[in-house]
Amino acid sequence: MGKTDWTQLWLTYHRVFEGNCTWETVLEGFAASDAVVSNALSEFKRGMDSIGCDSDSMTLKITKSDAVPAEGYSIKGDDNGILLEASDERGLLYGVFAILRQTACGKRAAEVNETASPSNPLRMMNHWDNMDGSIERGYSGESFFFENEEIVINDRTVDYARFMASIGINGVVINNVNVKGAASYLITDRYFDKLKELSEIFEGYGIKLYMSLNFASPIEIGGMDTCDPLDSNVISWWEKKIKEVYENLPGLGGFLVKADSEGRPGPFTYGRTQADGANMLADVIAPYGGIIIWRCFVYNCTQDWRDTKTDRARAGYDYFKDLDGAYHDNVILQIKNGPMDFQIREPVSPLLGGLTKTNQMLEVQAAQEYTGHQIDLCYLIPLFKEVLDFHTHCAPGKDTVADVVSGRTMGNRLGGMAAVINTGNDMNWTGDDLAAANTYGFGRLSFNTDLTAEEIAREWIRQTLNLPAKEEDILCSMLLRSREIYERYTSPLGIGWMVTPNGHYGPSVDGYEYSRWGTYHRADHLGIGVDRTDKGTGYAQQYYPENAKLYNDPHTCPEELLLFFHHIPYTWELKTGKTLIQHIYDSHFLGEEEARGLASDWDSIKDAVPEEIYTRVKERFDLQLDNAREWRDQVNSYFYRKSGIADEKGRTIY
Ligand code: GCU
């Protein structure tokens, strides 16, 4: 591929209909000169010209209608064309993309029909891009936003914005939450011109620009000796700074802040609370309509292994629950889906819905940090769905995480979903072509939390690859199976973490057991798992009573989370009648075998996919098989040697 030949992902617009028709566009109540409207109309033309049409001439009629909710649309086709109704420009844009999606998926214009509006007010992508061009936890090349400490803007930037708009994303944080070096200067005149240009491109696609902020900016760029959020000089410094920022970037959405976490500075340094820090910034930014998204990933990462009461899983709730209600209206707390760190399976964070008076946003990770580095296939939408559907028991009838973050539970205006995105400057954007299903899927799911993982997978396959029915079924099944397969050959039953430290790819059963991060599995010769019950760390008690009770008892605890909540003997009998140790062996043998099944399924659809894509993905499956084998062997061998109990089936364990 040449330097500018990046793929068009799900906006490839394969030909679906033989004919080409002329589309006349009629606008009522919208101005053709508006950037969003004009981008939507050119996208419509671009898409329809390639997808084709089954009639000679058609009309796309776009009408402004206050009956449609904000950012929503209603699209309805007949033999003469399609009527699109929306109440605002973003709704119009999403409506156009919905028409393109439906026709790309095979619907004739007359069959186009949908009424939709977003489930979540905020649907955001968080880039962990550094200004030197590297990406923290990036598995698909370098940043397309930054190079050598400069901001890069080119055609690719526009394509990125198109992709994001097509899945309903309305906010993008461009830089890593760990704000260091040049990134601290993004709020200075060194970068304002470029940022303005970028934010205008984004705005043309209904996307607001956000940035990660260095809480210690008053020290690092202001030359002060403190960043105490209650210090009046610090506050005036921020007032001046934010005024300057908004004079230059009037469209800025606000800031994302990682404070007091993994070495990042924060209010704790000055004996202040997280609310003191978040509210100070929120008050300063409020006059400009900005928001502060404050991450709850705060924990002690220097835990001593002898200390069995300190529990990293507890930390978020312990630090944030007491201050529920103290956060100002333009603060949103951004909470990772699980209490640890994006493992293949964790319980849902008890903070979600545990807070009842604070704006909340769910953070998930599309970047496959712990889930296979975009080498191993791992379609994450089933995991995201499980989190959204989880009943927190915080309020009768509207207690799921989807209810909480959308604002339905508390009637709040701000909330939503954010994903740590999995893109880079690789020509196919996501390294593994199949990983783009996670990028696509996150956007679609955040726009409509009722979609199923399968619906999303099929939409993505049709638009990206337009396969014949049989091949589509095979690929769809591969995606849907992949998460559990990955779980089986890595770390089942909620134990997590048996991964190579730092890099987070491949097995190292004790890698984290003997480090300071507080991510123990506590395996000994008798059993494995962390006691988080009322007799252990007490983490289970952070849930509402219904869930607390369920998790507290190993007999009622959902088995897929058993080792997250309990220290269990190897001889414990699981619901299948197998002992725990036998389950460990079986799961790892099965997972490895199923990974081979994925690879051979991919081979079976070879002729239906473009050769380049076939080859790129195939190379990854070869690596995935090595990885699965390695996991199987290391984990099985480790537990055989620890427990001294042999595999009932007598398979090879080294
Ligand atoms: C994980 C990840 C880090 C990241 C952090 C975060 O710990 O490994 O790279 O900075 O999460 O979410 O802030």
pLDDT in tens, 86-116: 999 999 999 999 999 999 999 999 999 999 9
Strand partners, 211: 255
Q: What's the whole-number average pLDDT of the chain?
A: 96
Worst-scoring range by mean pLDDT, 50-59, 191-200, 541-550? 50-59
Cβ-Cβ contacts under 8 Å for 520 (sequence gap 6 or more):
305, 497, 512, 513, 530
> Class assignment of domain 3-116?
alpha beta
- 197 belongs to the catalytic site: no
Which CATH code, of 3.30.450.70, 3.40.50.300, 3.30.70.20, 3.90.1330.10, is assigned to 489-530+567-643? 3.90.1330.10
Predicted confidence at residue 306, as pLDDT, reads 87
Query: Residue 27 region, left (φ>0) first, then alpha (ψ -120 to 50), else beta?
Result: beta
User: Cα(450) to centroid of ligand 1, in Å?
Assistant: 29
Strand partners, 556: none
**Mean pLDDT across the stretch 615-640?**
98
Predicted confidence at residue 55, as pLDDT, reads 85
| The residue type at 402 | A
In whole angstroms, give the CA distance from residue 292 to residue 405.
Answer: 16
pLDDT band at 585 (very low <50, low <70, confident <90, very high): very high
- Token pair recorded at residue 108: 């004739």
**Mean pLDDT across the stretch 454-471?**
98
Whether 178 is in the pocket of ligand 1, judged by its Cβ within 6 Å, is yes
* Closest ligand 1 atom to 128 CA: 10
Whether 363 is in the pocket of ligand 1, judged by its Cβ within 6 Å, is no
| Whole-prediction pTM | 0.98
- 559 belongs to the catalytic site: no
User: Cα(503) to centroid of ligand 1, in Å?
Assistant: 11
Task: Determine which residue's CA is closest to atom 11 belonging to ligand 1.
Answer: 341
Give the closest residue to 437 by CA, choosing from 363, 370, 384, 503. Answer: 384
423-443 pLDDT tens trace: 999 999 999 999 999 999 999
pLDDT > 50? residue 71: yes
Whether 260 is in the pocket of ligand 1, judged by its Cβ within 6 Å, is no
Cβ-Cβ contacts under 8 Å for 611 (sequence gap 6 or more):
none
**Mean pLDDT across the stretch 351-368?**
98
Is residue 631 a contact partner of residue 506, using CB atoms and an 8 Å limit?
Answer: yes
Q: Residue 230 in 3-state DSSP?
A: coil
Task: Tell me the percentage of the chain whose pLDDT exceeds 90.
Answer: 94
The DSSP annotation for 385-452 comes to: HHHHH-B--SSTT--BHHHHHHTTTT--S--EEEEE----SSTTSSSSGGGHHHHHHHHHHHH-TTS-
Whether 341 is in the pocket of ligand 1, judged by its Cβ within 6 Å, is yes
Q: What is the 3-state secondary structure (H, E, C) of 109-175?
A: HHHCEEEECCCCCEEEEECCECCCCCECCCCCCCCCCEECCEECCCHHHHHHHHHHHHCCCCEEECC
In whole angstroms, give the CA distance from residue 401 to residue 478.
Answer: 27
Whether 342 is in the pocket of ligand 1, judged by its Cβ within 6 Å, is no
Of these residues, 228, 260, 369, 594, which one is catalytic? 369
Is residue 150 a contact partner of residue 476, using CB atoms and an 8 Å limit?
Answer: no
Q: Residue 86 in 3-state DSSP?
A: strand
* Closest ligand 1 atom to 336 CA: 12
177-224 pLDDT tens trace: 999 999 999 999 999 999 999 999 999 999 999 999 999 999 999 999
Provide the b/e sequence for 20-53 (b: ≥16 CB within 10 Å): ebebebebeebeeeeebbebbbebbeebbebbbb
Predicted confidence at residue 69, as pLDDT, reads 97
Q: Where in the chain are all domains bearing CATH 3.90.1330.10? A: 489-530+567-643
pLDDT > 70? residue 2: no
pLDDT > 90? residue 56: no
pLDDT band at 264 (very low <50, low <70, confident <90, very high): confident
- 247 belongs to the catalytic site: no
**Mean pLDDT across the stretch 218-243?**
97
Q: Where in the chain are all domains bearing CATH 3.30.379.10? A: 3-116
505-514 pLDDT tens trace: 999 999 999 9
Predicted confidence at residue 3, as pLDDT, reads 56
pLDDT > 80? residue 399: yes
In whole angstroms, give the CA distance from residue 278 to residue 276.
Answer: 6
User: Cα(345) to centroid of ligand 1, in Å?
Assistant: 17
Q: Residue 318 in 3-state DSSP?
A: helix
289-321 pLDDT tens trace: 999 999 999 887 788 888 888 899 999 999 999
CATH architecture of 122-464: Alpha-Beta Barrel (3.20)
CA distance from start to end of the chain: 44
In whole angstroms, give the CA distance from residue 624 to residue 442.
Answer: 23
Whether 312 is in the pocket of ligand 1, judged by its Cβ within 6 Å, is no
Worst-scoring range by mean pLDDT, 19-23, 112-116, 180-184, 542-546? 19-23
Q: Where in the chain are all domains bearing CATH 3.20.20.80? A: 122-464
Give the closest residue to 279 by CA, choosing from 244, 337, 323, 240. Answer: 323
pLDDT > 50? residue 1: no
Give the burial class of 180: count Cβ atoms within 10 A of its Cβ; 0-12 exposed, 13-18 middle, 19 or more buried.
middle
Predicted confidence at residue 310, as pLDDT, reads 87
pLDDT > 90? residue 239: yes
**Mean pLDDT across the stretch 254-268?**
91
